[in-house]
Amino acid sequence: MGLSEDPYGAFVRTAPGKLLASRAGLPRPPRLRRFVPDEEWAVDPALVVGLSGAARVDEVTQWLRDSGIAVGRGDGPLSALVVDASGLRTVAELDELLTLAPRFRRTRGRVLVLSAVPADVEDPEGRAVQRGLEGFVRSLAKEARGGTTVNLLRVADGASTALRSAVEFFCSARSAFVDGQPLVVGEGTPAPARERRVAVVTGAAQGIGAATAQVLARSGHHVVCADVAAAGEQLAAVANRVKGSTLHLDVTAPTAPQRLAEHLADRFDGADVVVHNAGITRDRSFVNLDEDAWRSVLAVNLLAPVRLTEELLRHPGALAPGARFVCLSSINGLAGAKGQTNYATSKAGLVGLVEALAAPLAARGFAVNAVAPGFIETPMTAAMPPVPRELGRRTSSLQQGGLPVDVAEAVGWLAQPDAAGVDGQVLRVCGQNLLGA
């Protein structure tokens, strides 16, 4: 059985399973449609709706058309519903959200709400209204059916280029497991064009790292696949598959930061994308946690990204102009998890690293973000006991685990030059996990 298989999910999609689940009131996970090259995803048209004060309907409509999605009047089934609610300023104007119900009912794909950045709205009532849209979106995502996702983009002034990139991502099949999430889109400066863009992915030998290498290669990057020497055979297979190169690197070694920086500077004239993906778990209750289990997890998951980033920023030529950093955090770092005090500490620490680096890196033309996966079907989760594994799959709005490619697609989007307006943020790829923060 492959790691991506969900036996229960597969069973309830059969006729007998569907009948049994319906009668017993059991979850019925929808089949998610993910990105497949050269395959049309948006069979039905999209609809762009502007509420009071909306200013982006025309440009969003054009962006969708340019990306190959037809935009109609919304009389039939919809593949995407985009709502510009950024101009709402009074509680009375929130009544306009009720007009979306018939269109929401016909949407089988993506719902995307555009708002203002609440902190940019000086009027108290206006700020309250814009902040209220997050509650609307999160709740609507929990009511959506058939794999439909609902997300919120908080749009700052001057965010046109970055907003287009975000709209295209959130209205596409690439965002299949991103649900119920708010994200701020600022102005940003697109990275300069380079004939060959270079990405480095740590922990690339398997799971999310291998999938990330595949997605980055698909978008035209030469991928430096880095992992420990013990994973050399797997690493070589991944690098060959993506037509990239390998680098045997123990990220905890004292020499690792300098080795990586020199490799990128001397061989590739700097990296355009750095993905801190390498991570380990040593799960046990806090009272039974020894120093080795505590320190080893922090060393790989947190200290290594700190040290590697510091050296890459210091070493001449290690980074290309407009470089992007993406750190792999976890929803367990945001919400906590029993038996994972070490892991959750390390993953929450990565969020702090992103927040601390955002401003100084932006001043140098770089950007840094975190991606926080929920339950993803990987070798790590396959080794979990059956009951916790099944609970992990079902405790999200989409009622299933995600796949490594779901996380990789989010990383791939944040690595795009045009996504520079998303900076210092955490994007959860969790199907809207129902537990915790």
Residue 21 lies in a domain: no
Would you state the pLDDT for residue 2?
44
What is the mean predicted confidence (pLDDT) over 330-344? 92
Whether residue 399 sits in one domain with residue 263: yes
Would you state the pLDDT for residue 38?
79
The number of folded domains in the chain is 2
Residues in CB range of 387: below 8 A, 6 or more apart:
none
Distance CA 256, CA 202 (A): 11
Q: Which of 161, 185, 209 is the last residue before a domain boundary?
A: 185
Contacts of 59-63 with C-beta under 8 Å, sequence gap 24+, read 59/160, 59/164, 60/84, 60/114, 60/167, 63/164, 63/167, 63/168
Helices H, strands E: what count in the chain?
A: 16, 12
Residue 257 near residue 274, CB atoms below 8 Å = no
- Residue burial 227-256, b: 16+ Cβ < 10 Å; e: rest: bbeebeeebbebbeebebbbbebbbbeeeb
Whether residue 203 sits in one domain with residue 172: no
Would you state the pLDDT for residue 388?
80
Q: For 246-266, how does the pLDDT look when each residue is reduced to its tens digit (9 = 90+)?
A: 999 999 999 999 999 999 999
Tell me which of 379 and 31 has the higher pLDDT: 31
Residue 2 lies in a domain: no
Residue 436 lies in a domain: no
Whether residue 177 sits in one domain with residue 201: no
343: annotated active-site residue: yes
Whether residue 209 sits in one domain with residue 133: no
Whether residue 181 sits in one domain with residue 318: no
Degrees to nearest 5, angle at CA 35 with 32 and 37: 145
Nearest 10 degrees: Cα torsion 330, 332, 335, 338: -170
Of 16-25, 172-181, 275-284, the poorest mean pLDDT is in 16-25
Q: Which of 129, 150, 185 is the last residue before a domain boundary?
A: 185
Residues spanned by the domain of 214: 197-429
Residue 94 near residue 129, CB atoms below 8 Å = yes
Residues in CB range of 19: below 8 A, 6 or more apart:
none
Whether residue 121 sits in one domain with residue 227: no
Of 207-216, 234-243, 395-404, the poorest mean pLDDT is in 395-404
Whether residue 260 sits in one domain with residue 391: yes
Percentage of the chain modeled with pLDDT above 90:
77
Residue 399 lies in a domain: yes
Residue 297 lies in a domain: yes
Whether residue 162 sits in one domain with residue 255: no
Residue 54 lies in a domain: yes
Tell me which residue of 183, 230, 198, 52 sits closest to 129, measured CA to CA.
52
Q: How confident is the model at residue 331 (pLDDT cuts 50, 70, 90)?
A: very high
Residue 178 near residue 77, CB atoms below 8 Å = no
Would you state the pLDDT for residue 393?
86
Structure tokens of 364?
């140098």
Of 37-41, 94-98, 277-281, the poorest mean pLDDT is in 37-41
What is the mean predicted confidence (pLDDT) over 107-132? 97
Whether residue 404 sits in one domain with residue 260: yes
Would you state the pLDDT for residue 84?
98
Where residue 383 sits, what CATH number does that domain have?
Answer: 3.40.50.720
Whether residue 389 sits in one domain with residue 319: yes
- The model carries a pTM of 0.94
Residues in CB range of 156: below 8 A, 6 or more apart:
117, 120, 184, 185, 186, 187, 421
Whether residue 276 sits in one domain with residue 147: no
Of 53-57, 98-102, 211-215, 418-422, the poorest mean pLDDT is in 418-422
Is pLDDT at 395 greater than 90 in this prediction? no
Q: How confident is the model at residue 436 (pLDDT cuts 50, 70, 90)?
A: low
Tell me which residue of 237, 264, 259 sits closest to 249, measured CA to CA.
259
Q: For 204-235, how does the pLDDT look when each residue is reduced to its tens digit (9 = 90+)?
A: 999 999 999 999 999 999 999 999 999 999 99
Q: For 57-101, how does the pLDDT look when each residue is reduced to its tens digit (9 = 90+)?
A: 999 999 999 999 999 887 889 999 999 999 999 999 999 999 999
Residue 5 lies in a domain: no
Distance CA 426, CA 422 (A): 10
**Residue that has been written with the tokens 């070694």 in this structure:** 253
Whether residue 202 sits in one domain with residue 85: no
Q: What's the mean pLDDT when you consider all of the chain?
A: 93
Would you state the pLDDT for residue 345?
97
Residue 283 lies in a domain: yes
**Active-site choice (343, 366, 375, 413):** 343
Would you state the pLDDT for residue 63?
95
Q: Which of 185, 210, 241 is the last residue before a domain boundary?
A: 185
